[in-house]
Amino acid sequence: MSEHRILLVAAGKSAHAFLDYFAAPNLAQFHIHILDLSPIRLQERYQDTKRFTFTAFNIEKESINPFVAQADIVISMLPPSMHYIVLESCISFRKPMLTPSYQSQAMLDKAKDIDDSGILVVNELGLDPGLDHITSMVHIEEMKSMGYEIYSYYSVCGGLVDDACDNEWQYKFSWNPKNVVQATQGGHATYLYEGREKIITAPNIFRRYHTLQIGEKNYDIYANRDSVSYQAQYGLTQVSNLFRGTIRKKNFVPHWLKLVEVGLTDTQSYLNFPENTTLAEFYQLFLPDLKQDELDKWLKKTMISEQDDLFLEKFIAIGLTEKSLLPLTQGSPAEIFQAILEQKWQLADNDRDLVVMYHEIKGKNDQNLNWTKKVFFERTGHDAYLTAMSQTVSMPLICMVELILSGTFHLKGLHLPTHKEIYKPIYARLKEFNLEFEYSEEKQDNAIT
């Protein structure tokens, strides 16, 4: 059996399940070289896996070329803004490259170079984006093949924690904390409603959340930034309603909004505090200039209503009234607040996170028969290392790596998993990872509702 050499660039939380999978004894043909800023923790976990090589590596200071040259395939799990460095090397050495990140303009600008080099580059091979594309396209294709035109598409996904997790917010970090704290900072959200493009400006994204019931549970849903582009990506030429959003546990969004409105997630300001600054002093910076009795009234009116004892518990839990020292004294309010939350919302060893994804797709045929398909899955993590987030991000990457290295896959160029040659074989393998979907569907002969 021939040896396959995989280069993994950056191995953060989302890469854990990828490494665990390839550490299995029956996959002896796969040798993985892991480049990471600080690989010591991973070296300790996989010290008995002789097929793993770890190198401390800073891509901003060192050349990645020698490592890419020796690889059969390259997976970059760097921040999206750094993928282009790896891509340049992959083009030069004609190596296929995979990422779980949204496809950037920098990637698109290299499409011709990718074509000319004869390699395959696939982005958005994670959970969201990734599994959302794969599961959506399978069902959209099925409905279209049976003569149904899709007129409504609704899809939401979120990384949460299991109900047993002891956390007032019912939330802890299972992926990049920056993306959570700075959600909505990147601009407005767009979606389609009754054939018209709609915009929610950044300050209003959390205000205009809605509730979704899945089974017996209610979730908060807020809009993702760009739903409209999926009309073209998914080939939904006749769609009237198109919405993609993020899932949070019930009451998370309105309570998080209170912290956003105070200014704790601002990315534009720069703060520089003395080293002995407390959490309470940091929070006081954002409050109006009032005497304490007036300030208490203001807080009750704007932050903690008499009817909202639940928020008071959450507010106290994140520690903004504590006299403990700030974990970070320089940076934007969002960066400092993130550092505080990373201490409060870190998964304990035995915590189990939860991933939830839900699609609702509606189509109509020439006989005016309406078909509604609902697709749902949830995945619970094993512990703080082997999280559901890591598992679901890794599944498409694992499948694509093995597909490419099998020698039977010949697609080239720059692609997303909306391509049939990519999403079909990956979807067919998801049951091997014990990813179980719940389906419900309804067909009725009536007007569109």
Tell how far CA 356 is from the center of its chain. 11
If we measure between CA atoms, which residue out of 261, 281, 160, 248 comes closest to residue 207? 261
CA distance 96 to 348: 37
CA distance 246 to 155: 9
Q: Are strands 217-223 and 149-161 parallel, antiparallel or unpaired?
A: unpaired
If we measure between CA atoms, which residue out of 409, 131, 130, 18 comes closest to residue 7? 18
Q: What's the confidence (pLDDT) of residue 155? A: 97
Q: Are strands 149-161 and 353-364 parallel, antiparallel or unpaired?
A: antiparallel
DSSP for residue 352: -
If we measure between CA atoms, which residue out of 402, 395, 399, 397 comes closest to residue 29? 402
Alpha carbon of 226 to those of 83, 188, 222, 238, 263: distances in Å? 21, 8, 12, 18, 24
CA distance 102 to 44: 31
If we measure between CA atoms, which residue out of 379, 360, 356, 129 comes closest to residue 220? 356
* Residue pLDDT tens, the chain, 449 long: 578 999 999 998 999 999 999 999 999 999 999 999 999 999 999 999 999 999 999 998 899 999 999 999 999 999 998 999 999 999 999 999 999 999 999 999 999 999 999 999 999 999 999 999 999 999 999 999 999 999 999 999 999 999 888 888 999 998 788 888 888 777 899 999 999 999 999 879 999 999 999 988 999 999 988 999 999 999 999 999 999 999 999 999 999 998 998 899 999 999 999 999 999 889 888 877 766 667 566 666 666 554 466 777 888 888 888 889 999 999 999 999 999 999 999 999 889 999 999 999 999 999 989 999 999 999 999 999 999 999 999 999 999 999 999 988 999 999 999 999 999 999 999 999 999 899 888 888 765 44
List of domains in the chain? 4-123 (3.40.50.720), 131-255+349-387+436-445 (3.30.360.10), 263-344 (no CATH)
Alpha carbon of 27 to those of 16, 21, 51: distances in Å? 16, 9, 10
CA distance 204 to 334: 18
Sign of CA dihedral 278, 282, 287, 291: positive
CA distance 264 to 333: 5
Q: What's the confidence (pLDDT) of residue 312? A: 76
The C-alpha angle with vertex 128 and arms to 123 and 134, in degrees rounded to 5, equals: 70
Q: Which long-range contacts (CB under 8 A, 24 or more apart) does 27-31 make?
A: 28/1, 29/1, 29/2, 29/3, 29/4, 30/3, 30/4, 30/6, 30/405, 31/3, 31/4, 31/5, 31/6
CB 51 within 8 A of CB 74: no
Residue 69 CB contacts under 8 Å (≥ 6 apart), including other chains? 93
Q: What's the confidence (pLDDT) of residue 449? A: 47
Q: What's the confidence (pLDDT) of residue 46? A: 94
CA distance 189 to 164: 32
For residue 271, the cross-strand partners are: 331
Residue 42 CB contacts under 8 Å (≥ 6 apart), including other chains? 11, 19, 34, 36, 54
10: left (phi over 0), alpha (psi -120 to 50) or beta: left
CB 10 within 8 A of CB 76: yes
E strand or H helix at 325: none
